[in-house]
Amino acid sequence: MTHSPAVRVTIDLGSDTATRPTAAMLAAMTTAPVGDEQLGEDPTTAALEARVADLLGKEAALFLPSGTMCNQIALVLHTRPGDEVICADSAHVYGSEGAGVAVLGGALVRPIACARGIFGPDQLSAAVRRPKMRSPRSRLVVMEQTANRGGGAVWPLATIAAVAARAREHGLAVHMDGARLLNACVASGIAARDYARPFDTAWVDFSKGLGCPVGAVLAGPRDFIQDAWVWKHRLGGALRQSGVLAAACLHALDHHVERLAEDHENARIFAARAAAIPGVRIDPPEVETNIVFLDLAASGVDAATVSARLRQAGIRIMIEGPTRMRAVTHLDVSRAGVEKAADALAHAVELGAG
Ligand SMILES: Cc1ncc(COP(=O)(O)O)c(C=O)c1O
């Protein structure tokens, strides 16, 4: 990986993973009661797992170092080698997890081409294979709430219910990648357990909008979570005094959930200003949560040029394609920050191809 020696980034819209722990979060971490997690003796981790199991309405939950590990453990347990996982073509499990589904589980992915990372029951049915000796066995459907590369789109509850019901008719298991589930909850007013109900397994990430340095929690049936423990250990994810990390997550559940509304508001403010720049298009135009995709095609400037100019101003917006960029709001970017970033973007685009 290369790091450009540009000016220090002061407004980081590259991802909502860019947050630093707050002073109050650090205080919670340093005072947490801890023990050896592998021996089941860390009380703070146990409290977090119980809290997330309740939040998602599941029997049990397991603290893991990352969302990727939640997805990979769930996928490997839901499938057998040669099975097929169905998800949106923009899904993180398909394009952004080092092909773990194939490497760890020996499974295939059947991606569904869909707008905004959301598909319906008929698209699911079209992707399910008829049982044949020579075909992969369709086994699992994954829905991503919110859909990251769908521009932070929120899966409507009715669509989730319809897709999950159809999945059951086909005999498939159903898994939620809930990296930004709580953003969906705050945007829609729908409880996490209502979104999670149709799923066998679901997880939430703490290192994104919730502002923690590390951590995600996978929830599901008790026996599934017991099996997940074996994989956690196998992958090197079993920890020792993990309560230091779990305390940050508990703090975030208490203090960083409702405030996600501010991130959504800042994303809308940024998007409105960016959309007013000649040649810049917001894609899709409706910003539902904290993610904004920009399309610069009509401006004649490419994303790499704009990104380099923004970096000189201490601003990071992620390059997503030749003329596509992604901005993500979070705890460490204020309203003034997004306004400044939008002004800098206007300047970077107005300079032209140079
Ligand atoms: C939708 C989605 N799923 C999973 C992940 C993986 O989470 P982590 O970075 O905690 O491994 C991400 C991270 O960006 C994501 O956006």
Predicted confidence (pLDDT) per residue in 256-272, tens digit = 999 999 999 999 999 99
Backbone angles phi, psi at 110, to 5 degrees: -110, 100
Write down the residue that tokens 């203090």 correspond to. Answer: 255
pLDDT at 48: 98
Between the two ends of the chain, the Cα-to-Cα distance in Å is 27
CA of 115 to the centre of ligand 1 (A): 20
DSSP states of 151-175: TSBPPPHHHHHHHHHHHHHTT-EEE
Band (71; pLDDT cuts 50, 70, 90): very high
Give yes or no for residue 72 CB within 6 A of ligand 1.
no
- With the most atoms of ligand 1 within 8 angstroms of its CB, the residue from 64, 85, 148 to mutate is 148
Write down the residue that tokens 């000016």 correspond to. Answer: 7
CA of 88 to the centre of ligand 1 (A): 15
pLDDT at 4: 54
**Average pLDDT rounded to a whole number, residues 104-118:** 97
Q: How many CB atoms lie within 10 A of CB 176?
A: 28
Q: Domain 32-255's class?
A: alpha beta
- Dist. CA 75–CA 262, nearest whole Å: 33
* Residue 8 DSSP symbol: P
Which has more confidence, 352 or 218?
A: 218
Q: How many CB atoms lie within 10 A of CB 223?
A: 10
CA of 229 to the centre of ligand 1 (A): 20
CA of 92 to the centre of ligand 1 (A): 7
pLDDT at 3: 54
CA of 68 to the centre of ligand 1 (A): 6
- Dist. CA 310–CA 13, nearest whole Å: 11
Question: Which residues, 6 or more positions from 112, have their beta carbon under 8 angstroms from its beta carbon?
Answer: 86, 87, 88, 89, 119, 123, 124, 127
Mean pLDDT, the chain, rounded, equals 96
Give yes or no for residue 75 CB within 6 A of ligand 1.
no
**Average pLDDT rounded to a whole number, residues 92-108:** 97
Give yes or no for residue 79 CB within 6 A of ligand 1.
no
Give yes or no for residue 44 CB within 6 A of ligand 1.
no
> Where are the domains positioned within the chain?
11-19+259-350, 32-255
- Dist. CA 185–CA 49, nearest whole Å: 19
The pTM of the whole model exceeds 0.85: yes
Give yes or no for residue 148 CB within 6 A of ligand 1.
yes
- Dist. CA 192–CA 292, nearest whole Å: 23
CATH numeric code, 11-19+259-350: 3.90.1150.10
